[in-house]
Amino acid sequence: MKLLIVEDQPKTGQYLRQGLTEAGFNTELVADGTTGQHLALTGDYDLLILDVMLPGRTGWQILQAVRSAGLEIPVLFLTARDAVEDRVHGLELGADDYLVKPFAFSELLARVRSLLRRGSSTLQETSLHLADLRLDLIRRRVERSNQRIDLTAKEFALLEMLLRRQGEVLPKSLIASQVWDMNFDSDTNIIEVAIRRLRLKIDDGFPNKLIHTVRGMGYVLEERFS
């Protein structure tokens, strides 16, 4: 997966490139709009991450050029401005997502993965699993080590999300948005509590834990061998 970041603030740009590269993406970084637009139009990228305010060409101008060239690459905007008109303007021009600074890197990573996944065809899976954990999507049943586990509807949805995106760190805001459709800034600790309750059912009593907390970033479902 090849990503292009156009960001003029050197520190932000460097960290974004490092973070995304370490997450397994082939990442290129440029600091000015003119070069950014040239690369966006000629390089074969899977995703563009654009800052709005850039020297040369603004992020919006780059987006316009890309769309009028008939390219359907997903575009994610980063901006320090949080005016609703800006957001609307960006989405009207054909942006796919929008993140307002300051944002958490885990949030960016989760959104990048969502955007990249959108293009690929999702197989109609009938079940999901990790290690000895099995989730039957048709019968809506969960088993671990062949023991049936009873989950509430939301717990099931939460576990399904964790399983579908196993190995990814999922920020709390993304979980709230995807599982409960709560799309607002919130400093409640509901997600912590919900994860703790899910853990009691999934991991309690099993030696190898599957749900892990990544402090300050979110939660990840994966098998860890100590």
Partner 1 sequence: MKRISLASRLALLFAGCTAVVSLLAGVLFSQASEKHFIELDQQLLDSKLMALRSALQDADTPALFAQRVAALTDELSHQPDLSVRINAADGQRWFDSSPSIPAQLPATPGLHSLQNAGTNYRVYNAPLNPGKPGSAQLVLMLDITHHQHFLQRMQHLIWLTVGLSAVATALLGAWAARSGLRPLRRMTEVASRVRAHSLTQRLPQEQMPAELAELAQAFNAMFSRLDDAFQRLSAFSADIAHELRTPLSNLLTQTQVILTHPRPLEDYREALHSNLEELQWMAQLVNDMLYLAKADHGLLNPRREPLALANEVDALLEFFAPLAEDAQVNLLRDGSASTAGDRSMLRRAFSNLLDNAVRFTPPGGEVRVRISENTQGVTLSVENTGSGIPQGLLPKLFDRFYRVDPARHEGSSEHAGLGLAITQSIVRAHGGRIFCESQPGWTRFVIELPKGG
Which residue lies nearer to partner 1 by CB, 125 or 192? 192
Residues 127, 153: Cα–Cα separation, whole Å: 16
State in angstroms the smallest separation of the CB of 148 from partner 1: 21
Sheet with 47-51, side-by-side order of all strands:
26-30, 2-6, 47-51, 75-79, 97-100
CB of 210 to partner 1, least distance (A): 19
Residue 198: CB minimum distance to partner 1, A: 9
* Residues 175-194, interacting with partner 1 (CB under 8 A): 176, 180-190, 192-194
Q: Residue 154, interface with partner 1 (CB under 8 A)?
A: yes
Which whole-number Å values give the CA distances from 182 to 40, 67, 84, 99, 135, in the listed order? 34, 31, 19, 17, 24
d(Cα 88, Cα 130) in Å, to the nearest integer?
Answer: 40
- The first and second tokens of residue 109, run together, are 């990573």
Residue among 51, 181, 42 at smallest CA distance from 108:
51
Q: Please, which of residues 22-81 interact with partner 1 by CB under 8 A?
A: none
Nearer to partner 1, 84 or 138 (CB): 84
Terminal alpha carbon distance of the chain = 30
**CA distances from residue 193 to 92, 125, 126, 183 in whole angstroms, order as listed:** 38, 29, 28, 18
Minimum distance of partner 1 from residue 190's CB (angstroms): 5
Closest to partner 1 by CB, 147 or 152: 152
The contact pattern for partner 1, residues 85-114, with x = CB under 8 A and - = no contact, is ---------------x-x-x----------
Residues in contact with partner 1 by CB under 8 A are 82-84, 100, 102, 104, 152, 154, 176, 180-190, 192-194, 196-197, 215-217
